[in-house]
Structure 1
Amino acid sequence: MKISFGVPISGPWARPDNMRAVARRAEELGYAGLWTFQRLLYPEGHAMGPVYRSVHDPLITLAHLSAVTERIELGVGVVNAFMQPVMLAKQLATLQTLAGGRLVAGVGLGWLEEEFTASGVDFAARGRRGEEFVRVLRACWSEEVVAHEGEFYRVPPAHMDPKPEPGPPPVLMGGVAEPALRRAGRIADGWMSSSREDLTTIDQKIAQVKAAAEEAGRDPAALRFVVRGVTKVRTGERAPLTGSYAEIRADVDELAAKGVTEVFHDLNFDPEIVTAPAQEAMSRAEEALEALAPAS
């Protein structure tokens, strides 16, 4: 089981100095990875809550942190299919090379229709779009001459260089419905859970992904299963990854037993963190970073 950490990317505590401090300390403590997430916009009057109100770009954040770290993985969970895949392929290839091969690319279908509208992309048929999206990404990273004619995307024969070094980043897919889980098993390098996932039954989702992989002639044991840990340090309140530090660590062990290969503690999804003054939020985060660090 890998233990990772979500960098400050949402709310007042998501300042450059705090991002760098968390990244450096996480690497020193032996965390496996640093993770970001994407929220393009917040529709006026929407009920999403404070977590999504003010969010930095996930890829530019990781590019910045790649320059102040050396070994720790850099994951985005997730970028959504309202983006243009050829342009995204170029960005991810560059980031993979600059980071020395440490990138993990999470891809999602998206669920906020206003983001698709603002990006000029049809919200319908997102499942088929997501599958083609991944095909285009991988073609850009691996084919000498990229040429694609699909339902959603057209790429005229062209060179897309330089290729990512030392190789393409692994692609994980999100999603909660059975078609999304099966899609991850068929075409992705793994699956990652959403912030709203019921972690008590996550083994059932993992089983569906593995079954689809096996049906497609792929090795289920090679897949990664990453949990976004909506981690909340509380007294007298219990849910998976909510409670005391000892209880949270026990929850991580239980997730490993269910087949999860990586958990990243994401304090960005704690309303008490993203609404607190930056200094207070950072103080609490620094304590959690130390207390939840992987065993040496």
Structure 2
Amino acid sequence: MLIGFAVPVSGGWSEPAGQASVARRAEELGYHSVWTLQRLLNPAGATDTPYRDVPDPLVTLAYLAGLTERIRLGVAIVNMPFYSPVLLAKQAATLDRVAAGRLDLGLGIGWMPEEFAASGAPMQRRGARAEEFIAAMRALWAGGEGFEGEFHRFPPVVMGPAPVQSPEPPILLGGAADSALRRAGRLAAGWVSASRADPGSLGRSIAVVREAAEEAGRDPAALRFVCRAAVRVRAGGRADRRPLTGSYEEIRADFDDIAAQGMTELFVDLNFDPEISGPAADPAESLRRAREALEAFAPGA
């Protein structure tokens, strides 16, 4: 199982200097990837959200692309309803070029009504819209094709420059419902789990994705399965310990359990730990703990 690391993207520590420090050190330590996430906004007065002061994920990855050379750059995820296919296809192709072919493009359908309202996007039929959105992006990347769908249409057009990765940057779909899992199996390069996913039931979700891929005539063995590991480092030895919470040794054992379920990749994400990203967290201390975690979870450590 390949190991990645999420850069600071939520809370007071989500500053460019800290993002650069984490990404550079992750590359030095041999991590496979670094990751961002998207949150456009929050409801006014929300106090219990882990998504605070979240910068744009694609702009952040473009910044990190210029500071790294080998490590892959992933976003998990951007929500398709807040874009047009042509805009996201252009941004993704450009980012893939800036990153010299290192982009992993995680896509989702969104869930927060306030984000849809502010974006002017409908929440109805998100699944059907997502499938057409992906098809439209692929037509744009292919070049010279038109597209005629229920929600999107355009005449034969050429979009350039093309992505470095051919025919496209790997598309990883999020989602927990069976319909979303089956969509990933039919259409995508793989699936990425959410922060709230039960680490003990990932194998069941993987099985649904694989079954849908096989039914669609695709090779399930070629798919990628990426776990967002919402880690909380704490004192070990608790009898009531939850997976991914505890000592470094305990959490590493959890990684082994996750790999055994069929996950091909995992990235450590500290952004969902209130001690790291919460309102009372000290940004300097959060960054110190992130550097410590980078050393502890490094491949081969």
Decide: shared fold, TM above 0.5: yes
The more displaced of 204-213 and 230-239 is: 230-239
Query: Is structure 2 residue 292 aligned with structure 1 residue 287?
Result: yes
**Secondary structure in 2 aligned to 1:107?**
strand
Q: Report the equivalent of 1:202.
A: 202
Q: Report the equivalent of 1:165.
A: 164
Query: Is structure 2 residue 174 aligned with structure 1 residue 174?
Result: yes
CA shift, 1:80, in A, is 0.3
Q: Report the equivalent of 2:33.
A: 33
Query: Is structure 2 residue 270 aligned with structure 1 residue 271?
Result: no
CA contact (8 A) 1:194 1:228 kept: yes
Q: Please identify runs of 4+ aligned residues in structure 1 that moved more than 4 A.
A: none
The more displaced of 50-59 and 262-271 is: 50-59
> Residues 51-106 of structure 1, C-alpha deviation per residue, up to 9 Å, x if partnerless?
21210000000000000000000000000022212101100000101111100000
Q: Distance in 1 between matches of 2:156 and 2:13?
A: 45
Letter in 2 for 1:32: H
CA contact (8 A) 2:228 2:267 kept: yes
Q: Report the equivalent of 1:102.
A: 102
Write out aligned runs for 1:1-296 (5 A): 1-46=1-46, 49-82=48-81, 83-142=83-142, 144-167=143-166, 168-235=168-235, 236=238, 238-275=241-278, 276-295=281-300
Letter in 2 for 1:155: F
CA contact (8 A) 1:172 1:188 kept: yes
Q: Distance in 2 between matches of 1:114 and 1:152?
A: 22
Q: Distance in 2 between matches of 1:224 and 1:155?
A: 31
Residue identity (%): 57
TM-score by length of 1: 0.97
TM-score by length of 2: 0.95
Cα RMSD of the aligned pairs, angstroms, is 1.2
CA shift, 1:255, in A, is 0.8
Q: Distance in 1 between matches of 2:210 and 2:231?
A: 26
Q: Distance in 1 between matches of 2:296 and 2:42?
A: 33
Q: How many residues align?
A: 294
Unpaired runs of at least 5, structure 2: none
**Secondary structure in 1 aligned to 2:163?**
coil
CA shift, 1:155, in A, is 2.1
> Residues 256-278 of structure 1, C-alpha deviation per residue, up to 9 Å, x if partnerless?
11000111000011111002111
> Residues 104-131 of structure 1, C-alpha deviation per residue, up to 9 Å, x if partnerless?
0000011112111211111110010111
CA contact (8 A) 2:14 2:53 kept: no
Unpaired runs of at least 5, structure 1: none
